[in-house]
Amino acid sequence: MADYLPPIVFAALAWWLSTGAIFWLIGLPRATHRWTALGATAILAGATFLLVALRSDTSVTGAYAGFAAGLALWAWHEVMFLTGFITGPARHPCPEGLKGVARFRAGLAAVLHHELAIIAHAGIIVWLSWGAANQFAQWTFLILWGMRVSAKLVVFTGAPNLVDQFMPRHLDYLKTYFSRRAPGSVFAAALVTITTVSVLLAITAFGHPAGSHASAGFLLLTALAILAVIEHWVLILPVRDPSLWGWAMKPAPIETSAKQKSDWRA
């Protein structure tokens, strides 16, 4: 057990701290967001270098470092989205009365550039990781991507317990695409898929010798997948989780001038 617990704790803490750090940075005045984006891009470059440097590293440390690199690669997309620099061509509330396919198209237009950026980046990461002995950076990124796509679909189709205070003011229009009705088949399919992935990752982890590179890496991924399961349940159960990142939350900044609004329109 002593060999199995550290990767799970590390994954949970890394996810919690990195997510909270992003929320804290996004909560700073709007004028700081360009520096946040630049800092995230510098971290992206470092994580990409680490991804390549770890290709042949099959140590336990290499598994942890690969996981951390994958988190950092994904964090760039979260920062660019929440700062409003990469979202979609449509930056307005959902038109009233839209349903079905028309509503889905409108919602996709609101995040299209972000989704395309992730697809392109995922292709680059897979290419850089092709044939590598250590692929945990790649798998971390892909699992986080799957988690986010699944959560977006659930939020769009029906999630009664949405917690939207994490959404910055300049992205308020995105809230109009959320649906607070009872969850349906999309939630059920998402939950079954993520739970199955969690179980398969756990089986794979315990199928390798305790304390090995593979065991540590797959336990890190298992913890991440389990967090995704919890995140999905939080969307529909009558519980509130903002206190989880209460230390990172800041009051919404007040825009001080029309010029500032014009300069930073997202």
Q: Give the DSSP per-residue string, 137-161.
A: HHHHHHHHHHHHHHHHHHHHH--TT
**pLDDT confidence of residue 246:** 64
Between 118-122, 131-135, 186-190, the lowest mean confidence (pLDDT) is in: 186-190
pLDDT digits (tens, 9 = 90+) for 35-56: 999 999 999 999 999 999 999 9
* pLDDT band for position 233 (cuts 50, 70, 90): confident
Bigger pLDDT: 238 vs 195: 195
Q: Whole-number mean pLDDT of the chain?
A: 88
Q: Within 10 Å of residue 249's Cβ, how many Cβ atoms?
A: 16
**pLDDT confidence of residue 160:** 80
Between 179-193, 202-216, 235-249, the lowest mean confidence (pLDDT) is in: 235-249
pTM of the model as a whole: 0.89
Amino acid at 26: I
* pLDDT band for position 147 (cuts 50, 70, 90): very high
Between 65-69, 87-91, 242-246, the lowest mean confidence (pLDDT) is in: 242-246
**CB within 8 A of 8, min separation 6: which ones?**
219, 220, 222, 223
**pLDDT confidence of residue 242:** 52
Nearest CA-CA partner of 67 in 126, 137, 145: 137
Quick one: average pLDDT of 132-159? 93
**pLDDT confidence of residue 244:** 63
**pLDDT confidence of residue 164:** 66
**CB within 8 A of 22, min separation 6: which ones?**
75, 78, 79, 82
**CB within 8 A of 46, min separation 6: which ones?**
72
**pLDDT confidence of residue 261:** 39
Residue 258 confidence (pLDDT) above 50: no
Residue 93 confidence (pLDDT) above 60: yes
**pLDDT confidence of residue 245:** 60
Between 68-72, 163-167, 262-266, the lowest mean confidence (pLDDT) is in: 262-266
Nearest CA-CA partner of 156 in 195, 186, 190, 112: 186
